[in-house]
Amino acid sequence: MSRALAHCAAVMIVCAAATSHAEAWLPSAEDRAALERREVVVHSEELPDQPASERGREVRAAIRIRASAEKVFSVMTDCSSALQFVPHMKKCILLARDPVTGADTIEHVMDYGWYAPAVQYVFRVDYVPNRAVVFKAVSGDLERNEGRWELTPLKADPVTGVPETLLTYRVSVVPRFRVPQSWVRMSLKRELPRMLAALREFSERS
């Protein structure tokens, strides 16, 4: 099984940037209310450590999914599944697996068509099974890229008995080429929520 979704969202927001650590984050009370309504929560903050024309963002996102953490983890770490629902993903290849730690080295290729360059990158992924996915760039079109997914099991629905999972995401990423800020904003507004909603739909129906 290849670990697919762990990194693709970072490329959808390819000009976000730069915290020094990939800590998890806790949604606020307002965020939790939105999540209860099955909304996708996305936050981004402009970071001052780059020239204004290239300034990036720290991005955080969250979604509630009516499926177990084990199910969500299985879906989001499988290349064949990701290729079916991740927008713009053209390739997902497992290059290597560490026999001691279980960490994977994976290559992704994303193609955004005429309005943005295709992006190729290789990254290392470490896992806490069914609980966390931590990734960091190794090579390719992303100069810096690190982040993590956290899966938190929630109480099952008292009527249906269906388990729920809170999935949170945090990323910092800097490309090796300049990306228009208008494209970054479009990605944050449309592509990241679209990808997370597709992951939820795929997990809930599988």
pLDDT in tens, 103-119: 999 998 888 766 666 77
Total-model pTM: 0.82
CATH number of 5-205: 3.30.530.20
Give the gyration radius of the chain's Cα atoms. Answer: 16
Q: Could you tell me if 173 and 110 are in contact, meaning their C-beta atoms sit under 8 angstroms apart?
A: no
Q: Could you tell me if 108 and 118 are in contact, meaning their C-beta atoms sit under 8 angstroms apart?
A: no
Pairing assessment for the beta strands 41-46 and 57-65 based on DSSP bridges: antiparallel
pLDDT in tens, 40-84: 999 887 656 655 555 556 788 999 999 999 999 999 898 888 888
pLDDT in tens, 110-164: 887 666 667 788 889 999 999 999 998 888 776 667 889 999 999 998 888 999 9
